[in-house]
Amino acid sequence: MRVRIIRSTVVLCCVIFGFALLPAAAHAVGPNPVLVIGGFDANQTKLDTLRAWLGSRGYPAYSMQLLGTPTGTAAIPESAKAVADRVAAIRHETGAARVDLVGHSMGGLAQRHFVKFLGGLGQVGTYVDFGTPEEGEPLAVACALFAQGCRDLLPGSAFLAELNAPPAVPAGLSAFHLFSDTEGGETKLLPGAVNASVQSFCPGRKVGHADEPTDRAVQQLIDSALRGGPLATACP
């Protein structure tokens, strides 16, 4: 009898104060935060255009530059550490378990180093790089004399040899490599990722390397990748 009275009292209190005895319904989970990472000497305005467009699509979106002056001249592993710090800050700010990465050009190499070697695999949801020269860029010789980042970017560098040693992309990571098929080194495929050129969706489209962050078809491909695919664009 005493137990029954106690139970009745608890139920009454819960009704009065608006509590529920049943488990709370799960809250709807929104998209992961997205971090846009620029490349060598990246144009911040173009990065912000992509960040803002992703924000309009419902993503909590952020952007960052690589280290060095101009940006990207620091060693790429050092920039990867900066990526790690920014991801940690975004997770702390938002409470998200994982952050999606969208790296342009050299930014894709920095984020891949973070994922492979700095504990990023457990912190990243979807990995997207675009315009990234996965096997290096010969034109980096122009700045290799004064910048470690450029030396890291040279084909055959110790940095790239370590980064591209199998597996190039850790198992279990949802990864995409997007590129413009007129832009040299970025056309090299990334093993373990979904690889696609914007021209495979929009034949004849002219997209220069520097304009990839602001090209609407590229943006739509990034959006579809972040949503888990399949890749799609209306070629606006």
For 67-99, write each residue's pLDDT tens digit: 999 999 999 999 999 999 999 999 999 999 999
3-state helix, strand, coil in the chain (%, to 5): 45, 15, 40
Q: Cis omega (within 30 of 0) on the bond before 166?
A: no
Q: Is 179 exposed, middle or buried (0-12, 13-18, 19+ CB in 10 A)?
A: buried
Q: What is the DSSP string of 178-192?
A: EE-TTSGGGGS--TT
Q: What is the DSSP string of 75-119?
A: -HHHHHHHHHHHHHHHHHHH--S-EEEEEETHHHHHHHHHHHHSS
Q: Cα 150 to the chain's mean position, in Å?
A: 22
Q: What is the mean pLDDT of residues 43-48?
A: 98
pLDDT confidence of residue 64: 98
Q: How far apart are CA 45 and CA 168, in angstroms?
A: 31
Number of H helices, E strands in the chain: 7, 6
Mean pLDDT of the chain: 90
pLDDT confidence of residue 30: 87
- Of the chain, the percentage scoring pLDDT greater than 70 comes to 88
Annotated domain spans of the chain:
31-226
pLDDT tops 70 at residue 13: no
The CATH number that domain 31-226 falls under is 3.40.50.1820
pTM of this prediction?
Answer: 0.87
Q: Which amino acid is at 209?
A: H
User: How many CA atoms does the CB half-sphere of 116 hold within 13 Å?
Assistant: 20
Give the least confident one: 6-10, 103-107, 180-184.
6-10
